[in-house]
Amino acid sequence: MGAVLEGSSLLMDEESLRDAVRTAQEALGRAVAALETTDTHDDLASGAARLFRDRRKRDALFPPGLFVEAEWDVMLVLAQRESVRKSDLFSAVKVAPTTGARVLEPLALAGLIDRSTDERVARSNLVSLSAEGRGRLKQVVGEQ
């Protein structure tokens, strides 16, 4: 079972491929359900949600891990909420906390995100789009 290396391409056996597709479809369903609960009608949030859903659909059709752009997923998730706890953000973009911390660092250095502490829960760090990040993302998503 698993992947078989043939020539320069990686082939998955049928059972592994079915499992990967099933896992991706379940993840897509969870992501879509989470996005549908968004209570904002902001054009940026709607456009970002559409892009995020499209990415999850794409991921469901191809082998897991083939397309990895966690930084972009972070931006799309943040566009849909005022602020997000790091743990929830990492869960939404499907990265481990250590990977998530590495993903956030260049976004923060570029001035695209802001990090803060939730005063209600001292250990719960929040992440949000900065004004610069929101402005740039609006240029990509477009306000319709």
Quick one: pLDDT at residue 124?
A: 64
Give me the sheet containing 113-117, strands edge to edge: 84-85, 125-129, 113-117
Q: What is the mean pLDDT of residues 60-69?
A: 77
Q: CA dist 37 to 4, 42, 82, Å?
A: 40, 14, 14
| Span 9-52, pLDDT tens digits | 456 677 777 777 777 666 666 665 555 444 444 788 888 888 88
Whole-number Å distance between alpha carbons of 64 and 58: 10
List 79's β-bridge partners, or say none.
none
| Span 92-118, pLDDT tens digits | 998 999 999 999 999 999 999 999 987
Q: Where are the domains of the chain?
A: 12-141
Quick one: pLDDT at residue 144?
A: 40
Q: CA dist 22 to 13, 28, 30, 96, Å?
A: 14, 10, 12, 21
Quick one: pLDDT at residue 106?
A: 94
Quick one: pLDDT at residue 35?
A: 52
pTM: 0.62
Q: Are 17 and 64 in contact, with CB atoms under 8 Å apart?
A: no
CATH classification of 12-141 is 1.10.3720.10, yes or no?
Answer: no
88 Cβ contact partners less than 8 Å away, ≥ 6 residues apart: none
Q: Find the distance separating the first CA and the last CA of the chain, reported in whole Å.
A: 47
Q: What is the mean pLDDT of residues 114-142?
A: 86
Quick one: pLDDT at residue 52?
A: 83
